[in-house]
Structure 1
Amino acid sequence: MIDLLNALVALLNYVVIPATAYGAQLALGALGVTLVFGILRFSNFAHADVMAFGTMVVIGVTALFQSWGISFGILPTALLALPFGCLATIALVLGTDRVVYRFYRRVKAAPVMLMIVSIGVAFVMNGVVRMFVGTEDRTFSDGARFLISARDFKAATGLDEALSLKTTQAVTVVTAVIVVAALFWFLNRTRTGKSMRAYSDNEDLALLSGINPEHVVRVTWVIVAILATVAGTLYGLDKSFKPFTYFQILLPMFAAAIVGGFGSPLGAIVGGFTIAYAEILFTYAFKKVAGYVLPEALQPDGLAQLLSTDYKFAVSFAILVIVLLFRPNGLFGGKSA
């Protein structure tokens, strides 16, 4: 019985908790991607760099607050800086839409053209972010490091395995739940949210109903900016901030959006957790768990790891390809990817 408990704690510590936190971050990022695709009808390859920009602003405001002696107790001070990052990112995406994307909407450019334009926007944003913050890893999490520490857990339970829960992991999950609940309430209960859904389902019919398309576009970009800033900040708090790392997680976010169904907010959430758990399960070394649950004669000699952690993003790519081949509309039947 003790061995089973140790195995369970090891799985919780190294698989379930990190995968849940990572899945929440991917889900928020995928929500921004799927909203742009569902309402503005193009794949926004600049989304990860929008996340990096918003996080950069949060880091700057956090440093300013810390210099003034302002903190948030056991919670990261970055949570206090988050509204400022959201405002700056809203200004960025609205300005980018006005200067770049609006022209292509007016001439009714093909979605592939807008996708190519977004790649150019991504390079510009990435260069701007790196110019201001450099290319090195930055950590900006403060407050209490752990809500549950390994030492306290061992002392309380007497188990060999120790469970630890980082404050940033708990903050990620709680914040994601609040943001997602607020988003679904807005989309389903408010007049503007219903207009956005109508515009996404049938643009021509929505226009005949008197819906202002430019208002829908502006509100969409505002929501996307908030989601990007929150997702980027939570990812940076949980891991670290490095501009190019955000470009790398674009693949898992798109994979999450496509797995769930491009254009489906619920699908983006399910897809985010699916990708996160798949990445961690395929790259986790199960030797320790096997040592607790298997007889000595059956215990593996190696790490019992399907893939090295270097191939984590390959898991996302493989899932993406499989879904595109066999179910291109995703699990929840979104728009064709």
Structure 2
Amino acid sequence: MEDIFNALAMFTNFVLLPAAAYGSQLALGALGVTLVYGILRFSNFAHGDTMAFGTMIAILFTWWLQSQGVSLGFLPTALLAIPVAVLVTIGFVLLSDRWVYRYHRVKKAPAVVFLICSVGVMFLLNGIVRFIIGPGEQHFTDGERFIFTVAQFRDFTGLEQGIALRTSQALTLVTAVLIVLALFWFLERSRTGKSMRAYSDNENLALLSGINPERVVLITWVLAAALATVAGVLYGLDKGFRPFTYFQLLLPIFAAAIVGGLGSPLGAIAGGFIVAFSEVLLTYAWRRVFMYLGPEGWEPEGLMQLLSTDYKFAVSFVILVLVLLIRPTGLFGGKSV
């Protein structure tokens, strides 16, 4: 029985907790993508670099707070920087809409024009982030790294294997739950949220009902920018910040949104966890887990790793292709891609 608990401890420490945190980050990112697609009718390729931009602002403000001696104790000071980063990112996104997207929206341009414009905004954001903070890896965590460590878990349970819960993982899970609940309440209960859903379902009928389309667009960009910033900061706290990594995150985020169904907030959340757990399960080395579960003296050959971690994003790509081929509307019946 002890061997089973050791195997469960390894699975929890190296698969369940990392995948749950990563899935929460992808879900928040995918929510921003699916809101823009569902209401503004185009795929926003600049979303990953919007996450990078918001995270960069949070890092810079965190460094300033630290230089002033401000601290939250065992919690990262970055939590104080998130509201500032959200506001700055919202400002940039609204300027992008006014200077780039609004003209084409008035002209009723096809979705491909907006997509191409978003690629341009993506490269602009990427250049700004690299110019200001540099292309290298940055860290801004100054709080406690662990809520409890492997050694503490071992001492408490007496098991050979242990579980460590990082502060960033707990923050990610708690923040994701609170944001998702608040977002669903807003979309389902508030008058503005109902207007957004009506505009998404039938734009012409919504306009006849007196809904202000510019206000709907404004709120959509505000929510998308806020979600991107929070998701980016949580990812940076958990795994470190490097601008190119956020560009790479665009693939799993879009995979998550498409798996669940573009335009479906619930689908974006489910898709985030599906993609995250698929990546972690397929790239984890299962050798030691099976050593505990197998008969005594039995030792499997090799690492029992289906894919190298270098191919993590390839998992997202395969999932994305399969969903597009088999069920383009996603698991929750969003809009067809």
| TM-score w.r.t. length of structure 1 | 0.99
Q: Could you say what secondary structure the match of 2:74 adopts?
A: coil
Partner Cα separation in structure 1 for residue 213 and residue 302 of structure 2: 58
1:44 Cα deviation after fit: 0.2
Question: What is aligned with 1:202?
Answer: 202
**SS state at 2:147 partner:** strand
Counterpart in the other structure of 1:332: 332
Distance between the aligned counterparts of 1:138 and 1:244, measured in 2? 12
Q: What is the RMSD of the two structures over their aligned residues, measured on CA atoms?
A: 0.7
- The match for 1:45 is 45
Q: CA deviation at 1:210?
A: 0.4
The alignment covers a number of residue pairs equal to: 337
Does residue 134 of the first structure (1) align with residue 150 of the second (2)? Answer: no
Residues of 2 paired with 1:310 and 1:33: CA distance?
Answer: 25
Instruction: Tell me the SS of whatever aligns to 2:69.
Output: coil
The alpha-carbon deviation at position 59 of structure 1 amounts to: 0.5
Secondary structure of residue in 1 paired with 2:263: coil
Please give the TM-score of this superposition, normalised by the length of structure 2: 0.99
Which runs of 5 or more structure 2 residues have no equivalent in the other structure? none
| Alpha-carbon separation, structure 1, partners of 2:235 and 2:312 | 16
C-alpha separation between the residues in 1 aligned to 2:120 and 2:264? 26
Corresponding letter in the other structure for 1:251: L
2:187 partner letter: L
> Distance between the aligned counterparts of 1:143 and 1:124, measured in 2?
33
Whole-angstrom distance in 2 between the partners of 1:45 and 1:193: 24
- Taking the aligned partners of 1:266 and 1:285, their CA distance within structure 2 comes to 31
What pairs up with 1:153-302 in 2 under 5 angstroms?
153-296=153-296, 298-302=298-302
The runs of 5 or more residues in structure 1 that have no matched partner are none
Which secondary structure does the structure 2 equivalent of 1:109 belong to? Answer: coil
Is 2:144 the counterpart of 1:144? yes
After superposing on structure 2, the runs of 4+ consecutive aligned residues of structure 1 that deviate more than 6 Å are: none
1:74 aligns with 2:77: no
SS of the counterpart of 1:147?
strand
Once residues 213 and 142 of structure 2 are traced to their aligned partners in structure 1, the CA distance between those partners, rounded to angstroms, is: 42
1:295 Cα deviation after fit: 1.5
Aligned AA for 1:270?
A
**CA distance in structure 1 between the partners assigned to 2:178 and 2:71 by the alignment:** 22
Q: Alignment partner of 2:140: what SS? A: coil
Deviation, 1:116, is: 1.0
What's 2:58 paired with? 58
Give 2:104's aligned residue. Answer: 104
